[in-house]
Amino acid sequence: MSKIKAREGILSIPPYLPGRPVEEVKKEYGLAEVVSLANNENPRTSPKALEAMRAAVDHVYLYPDGSSRDLREALAVKHGLAPSQIMVANGGDQIIVLIAEAFVNEGEEVIVARPSFVTYKTAATIAGGKLISVPVKKDSLEIDLEATLAAVTERTKLIFLCNPNNPTATIVRRREVEDFLAKVPDHCLVVFDEAYFEYVGDPEYPDGIEYVKRDKNVIVIRTFSKIYGLAGQRIGYALAPEEIMDTLFRVLPPFPANRVAQAGALAALSDYDFVDKVIKENNSGRAYLCGEFEKLGLSFVESWTNYIFVDVKREALSLSADLLKLGFIIRPGGGWGYSTCCRISIGTMDQNEKFIAALKKVLNS
């Protein structure tokens, strides 16, 4: 036994369990085709981004621009902010950890919903913060902002608000959010994780960037992983009022986003046709899958994203193991405390149809 001990609290972080890699499942089950519906990836990538990334590969002997200047300037124009209010990093995941590192002192409280994105807990623990989790509403599985507010104390430093929430795919709406922001005390920083922002079609869905513009104590997180189909490139960004951003920049490593990713992200930003197409196809995929779930007697939470939280009304872990053998990777809900639920990403229509055929097979066997 080694005498080297981990820092206090670190071993309480459960290892992150992503959906298994497609390559690994192909090998294990001898399958020619495997579809990942486990990580909410976009099954398509912006063609403009692909072209720009191919060109950027020729220059990978050079370090990237550590300040991502071109991309931050383009994002500043798109969002109507100054480049100094925007930070680009190695995915939204890295930004979540940086936020905790920059703001949370040992013992300060970090409020998250339960269930929500697991990285918040990891980030809070790394920083030595105390995690306070607030259950989502019992029937709708929506984040409970009143209960969140009630959990705020003098020790609260951060509140992570995942909107839409991962894994439940629910949103909180403008009126509720503004009421909440008005009551949150000045010593709390509210983080709006809007990884799925572009997918939400509800007119009452609030744009966190509005609160950055109003100089509230907020940070907004967005990513190129989902809507632009660049999950494998690891690139995302944060937006915040200048003073908050200045603090966050202090903990940013030297070259957070790689050269190829920056080129792809910049090109993707102006690929409006691609974004339109993704949203349309995702909407029809969602309608198709929900229709089929209904026919199968399965219930699900209304989704505002590219994934659906479904109650399969049996042990989801064994169901997902059966689906794996047929080449479909999904995420069972046991880890979130919902052992009969799954989170299923929406694929291309072809993938969705094949998935439903596989699901029927498994349910009937």
Ligand X SMILES: *Cc1c(COP(=O)(O)O)cnc(C)c1O
Binding site for ligand X (CB under 6 A): 40, 91-93, 117, 162, 166, 193, 195, 223, 225-226, 231, 236
Task: Supply the minimum distance, in Å, between the C-beta of residue 92 and ligand X.
Answer: 3
133 vs 313, beta carbon nearer ligand X:
133
> Smallest distance from the beta carbon of 169 to ligand X, in angstroms?
10
Instruction: Give the shortest CB-125-to-ligand X separation in angstroms.
Output: 17
> In the bound complex, what is the minimum distance in angstroms from residue 41's beta carbon to ligand X?
9
Q: Which is nearer to ligand X, 93 or 109 (CB)?
A: 93
Of 136 and 231, which CB lies nearer to ligand X in the complex structure? 231
Reading the block at residue 103, the tokens are: 């703001």
In the DSSP assignment, the letter for residue 345 is E
195 three-state secondary structure? coil
Using alpha carbons, select from 250, 254, 173 the residue that is nearest to residue 208: 173
In this complex, which beta carbon is closest to ligand X, that of residue 102 or of residue 169? 169
Burial of 155 (0-12, 13-18, 19+ CB in 10 A): middle
Nearer to ligand X, 122 or 166 (CB): 166
Q: In angstroms, rounded to a whole number, what is the distance separating the alpha carbons of residues 244 and 85?
A: 9
**Nearer residue to ligand X within complex by CB, 68 or 223:** 223
Is 332 exposed, middle or buried (CB count within 10 Å of its CB: 0-12, 13-18, 19+)? Answer: buried
Query: For residue 160, what are the β-bridge partners?
Result: 191
Rounded CA-CA distance 72/81 in Å is 10
Residue 182 beta carbon to ligand X: minimum distance, rounded to whole angstroms = 25
Contacts of 31 (CB under 8 A, 6+ apart): 25, 327
Q: How far is the CB of 17 from ligand X (least distance, A)?
A: 14
